[in-house]
Structure 1
């Protein structure tokens, strides 16, 4: 029995692509969980959804221009965020309505471009991720982006926390809210690019929201919320990769499904309390 359990875990790790998938999933999961706590406090759940969908036209245009897809995705994501801010500041339309219009329009534009452009990039891999099939270059790219974002968050964690929790107080103590605002948007766009290889542009919003809201449900202090979010994300990435191997299911959706189950459990625990 014990040998069977050992073999159950050892067999997937005997393949280099599974080792690579597990590393990327866990590193990206930690970064997504960390950023998700700030997004939940800020109320930017829909912003993550907007940018994650809006990167698609940038990816297609980057392919046409023969430049790295990550550059196109980043520019497209930042354009979406700036467009939302401009429309909100120069009209009477509410921010959530503006987000819905901008991200759905850009996503539709990306789908039209993708249907018209002949490429060797498979649409399903971009939409839903291809964790088990990432190249060595994509592996390094995802890790570098994720680790860079994590380092920036650690350095500016107190400023970001104050800005997300109470922007007025942050302005009072001398922080530049505009810099923090657009800095957080840049970090969000970079994390989406990093996580795009894991779960794709459609499901990436779940990795950016579910861990944070799970921690928020169970904890009343930010540090505990952060620990719960990271633990949930690591566990989901670990089990998602192994279960996808043994049951022959898509890795990205498996990770998201486990995260959703963790949230349901946390919600039930909070109700029992």
Structure 2
């Protein structure tokens, strides 16, 4: 088993797994605490439009997905802040239209025949050195923003009304959290794909809530758990020759099920 570590694509997969897990642990905690899982899912699927556009224009896929996801996050933030009564319908429309845009641009790209399933369900073993650099930059940016604005993000996440009374710009930080979620989604595309990314963001955090008493602890524990799930998922994927993205999520689901059963017995 250890001999596979000599291959460059395996090394890249492990490095990418750690980088993605760090981002997923931090942002997943914010997503769960702020109860924006559905909004993040809408951003994730809408970013498929950026993938299709990037392929059509011949620019880096992750760059195109990033720009599209961030713009989508800002639009969703503006809409949900003004009209919370029809959030489900609005997100559903953006979800579907984003994916439709992506498919149309791919169809319009002459001679393009690459399997797009890897973007939907992930293929972490296909991560390149350029992807690693990109993920590293995204991680640094996410960690830097969260550390610098930690007190404000904490206040907005747990009590937005109190934060507003304290003079904190709630709308700005709500939008910022959605943008960070968009960046994390893009970073996780290669690992688990757009379909499964929400599971990677929420399952480790759901487990971390059991052991954490504050948001910072939850972020750290979530990152550690996400890293463990990712590495174990890669091992399972290699041993049984199955999709890496699905393997990572199934490992997380099984661990979650075991923990919940043990808690019920206690």
Match of residue 159 from structure 1: 152
Match of residue 256 from structure 1: 249
Superposition deviation, residue 23 in structure 1: 1.1
Do the aligned partners of residues 89 and 241 (structure 1) sit closer, same or farther apart at CA in structure 2, a change above 3 Å counting? closer
Match of residue 260 from structure 2: 267
**Match for 1:117 among 101, 109, 114?**
109
- Moved runs in structure 1, 4+ residues, more than 6 A? none
Superposition deviation, residue 101 in structure 1: 2.3
Superposition deviation, residue 221 in structure 1: 3.9
**1:171-190 deviation line (CA, Å, top 9, x unaligned):** 12221112211211221111
RMSD: 2.1
Q: Give the paired residue count.
A: 265
Match of residue 237 from structure 1: 230
Contact 2:25 2:220 in 1 (8 A): no
Name the SS of the counterpart of 2:167 in structure 1.
Answer: coil
In the alignment, is residue 49 of structure 1 matched against residue 41 of structure 2? Answer: yes
Comparing 96-105 with 193-202, greater Cα deviation is found at 96-105
Superposition deviation, residue 113 in structure 1: 3.1
Match of residue 9 from structure 2: 17
Comparing 79-88 with 161-170, greater Cα deviation is found at 79-88
Which structure 2 residues correspond to residues 78-117 of structure 1 after superposition, within 5 A?
78-88=70-80, 93-117=85-109
**1:15-37 deviation line (CA, Å, top 9, x unaligned):** 22111111110121121011111
Structure 1: where are the runs of 5+ without partners?
1-7
Superposition deviation, residue 146 in structure 1: 2.1
TM-score by length of 1: 0.88
